[in-house]
Amino acid sequence: MVNLELPDTAIVKYHVKLKFEVDGVVEKADLVGAIFGQTEGLFGPKMNLNELQKTWKVGRIEINLDSKNGKTHGEVIIPMSTDIQTASLIAAAVESVDKVGPCTAHFQLVEVEDVRSSRRKTIVDRAKLIMKDWATKSESSTEEELKDVADSARAAKIISYGREELPAGPGIYTSDNIIIVEGRADVLNLLRAGIENSVAVEGTNVPESIARLSREKKAVAFLDGDRGGDLILKELQQVARIEKVYRAPPGREVEELTPVEILDILKREPAPMQRHERERREERRYEDRRRDERRYEEPKYEEKRPPPVQLPDDLAAKTKEVFAAINGTLEGVILDEGMNEKAKVPVSELVKNLQSLEGAKYVIFDGIITQRLVDTAEKAGVKFIVGHRAGDIGRRSEMITLGTFRDVGLE
């Protein structure tokens, strides 16, 4: 069978189907020649089959034939993309063919098939299947949605987070914000209030998983309103990056609060963490201790504030620049000999980085200079350390100059 072909830009609308009988044995080429030859010029050049094929109105004519007992019979199919009037005219013209070569022939129209009708039926049948499939899925989806609504009323389950397997809500992985609480009961109570992004420290020693998480996400603390909450807050401020702190009412614990009370507390907008709160508490303890000591000292030994350290001009300028970027962040910057930044790290990781970093010459950080930092910096070859103030340092290094932001007029 010969394939029907029309260019991609043409759309077959009708199939003109005719049957024929020839009084003799003929080939397909004979039939094609007779059809084209005997219809040519009947209705003007524009209606010739040759011209209609050139303008993509008629496709390749398909012929099926069989010869038996000295006669040939079969069918002709003419694909057309014209209007129905032209298709009917061509059908009538082919019916008028009465000779194929020297043999008598008879052509008879079987039908003019509307291809679009068949296509419409196919489309409608497909649409029914789509609709049936949609109805099934829609019903299932509705059932799932009803189940989701019902499940939303149930509190989510506690999961384990990190290698320490800390109690946490399931939202700890997907939320950009986390709430750090004290224990498992606090996580469970926040889940009852619909809050799923909490994680518990489970003790006063803050796990490394929480310290790392606080650097990856925005972290707030929600702590008990007692002494235990104070101790955990102190530890959090040393090893984690906390933006805000929420507290239960004085004398009460987070696990005791009702869902309404929890939501009410978390809706409040507390002031951002006061920078250097830990350092200021240490300063107050230091000043209280010094006041107690001065009570037993002679007036001539009254302590005076040490004179400011004169930092080199280039270091003073660099300190002012770095201070603007790290003030209030609990971060430190390590610089090389040319005052180029080698690393910017949390204060809690400053000592560890100095132990492994080469070429460190200057340290400017948002914290208190400690004996441990001085000892590590001396081994690393650091020449200057600048912080908010120096703590109780028993052994000072002759190789390192200790300065403060006050020395350059920043505090």
CATH of residue 394 = 3.40.140.20
Q: What are 21's two structure tokens?
A: 């009988």
Residues 107 and 178 in one domain: no
pLDDT of residue 3: 41
SS3 state of residue 206: coil
Helix (H, G, I), strand (E, B) or coil at 74: strand
Regarding whether 317 and 213 lie in a shared domain, the answer is no
Cα dist. 213→181, 231, 240, 318 in Å? 14, 20, 9, 31
Indicate whether 191 belongs to any domain. Answer: yes
Tell me, what CATH number does 215's domain have?
3.40.1360.10
Same domain, 169 and 265: yes
Within its chain, how far is the Cα of 288 from the centroid?
Answer: 52
Two tokens, residue 182: 């004290």
Burial pattern 174-184, b for ≥16 Cβ within 10 A else e, equals ebeebbbbbbe
Question: Pairing between strand 218-223 and 177-181?
Answer: parallel
Q: Are residues 177 and 90 in the same domain?
A: no
Residues 30 and 113 placed together within one structural domain of the fold: yes
Q: What is residue 58's DSSP assignment?
A: B
Considering the domain architecture, whether residues 80 and 28 belong to the same structural domain is answered as yes
Indicate if 167 and 265 belong to the same structural domain.
yes
Q: Which CA distances in Å does 232 have to 4, 191, 215, 265?
A: 83, 21, 18, 19
In whole angstroms, give the CA distance from residue 373 to residue 359: 16
Q: Specify whether 82 is located in the same domain as 180.
A: no
DSSP output for 335-361:
E-TT--EEEEEEGGGHHHHHHH-SS--
CA angle 261, 263, 265 (to 5 degrees): 70
Whole-model pTM: value is 0.35
Domain containing 165 equals: 159-273
Domain CATH for 96: 3.30.70.2690
Are 243 and 322 in the same domain? no
Query: Are residues 321 and 249 located together in one domain of the fold?
Result: no
Q: Compute the distance between CA of residue 76 and CA of residue 56 in angstroms, rounded to an integer.
A: 19
User: Tens place of pLDDT for every residue, the chain, 411 residues?
Assistant: 334 455 544 578 899 999 999 999 999 888 988 899 888 888 877 788 888 888 888 888 999 999 998 899 999 999 998 888 888 998 999 999 988 888 999 999 999 988 888 778 888 888 888 888 887 777 666 666 666 655 554 556 889 998 888 999 999 988 899 999 998 989 999 998 889 999 999 877 788 888 888 888 999 999 998 888 888 888 888 888 888 899 999 888 898 889 899 999 988 876 455 444 544 455 455 555 555 555 544 444 343 455 778 889 899 999 999 998 888 778 899 999 999 999 998 888 888 899 888 899 999 998 888 888 888 999 999 999 999 888 778 788 888 999 998 888 886
Query: What is the per-residue DSSP string for 84-149?
Result: HHHHHHHHHHHHT--EETTEEEEEEEEEEEEHHHHHHHHHHHHHHHHHHHHHHHHHHHHHHHHHHH
Residue 286 lies in a domain: no
Q: Is 306 part of a structural domain of the chain?
A: no
Rounded Cα gap, residues 201 and 232, in angstroms: 9
Domain C-terminal end among 64, 95, 117: 117
Whether 85 contacts 14, CB under 8 Å = no
Question: In the listed set 60, 86, 117, which residue is the last one of a domain according to the structure?
Answer: 117
What's the structural domain count of the chain?
3
Q: Is 333 contained in some domain?
A: yes
Q: Does residue 9 form part of some domain?
A: no
Please give the structure tokens belonging to residue 401.
Answer: 């100059």
Q: Cα–Cα–Cα angle for 82, 61, 13, nearest 5°?
A: 30
CB 243 within 8 A of CB 218: yes
Predicted confidence at residue 299, as pLDDT, reads: 44
What pLDDT is attached to residue 9? 43
Evaluate whether residue 103 is within a structural domain.
yes
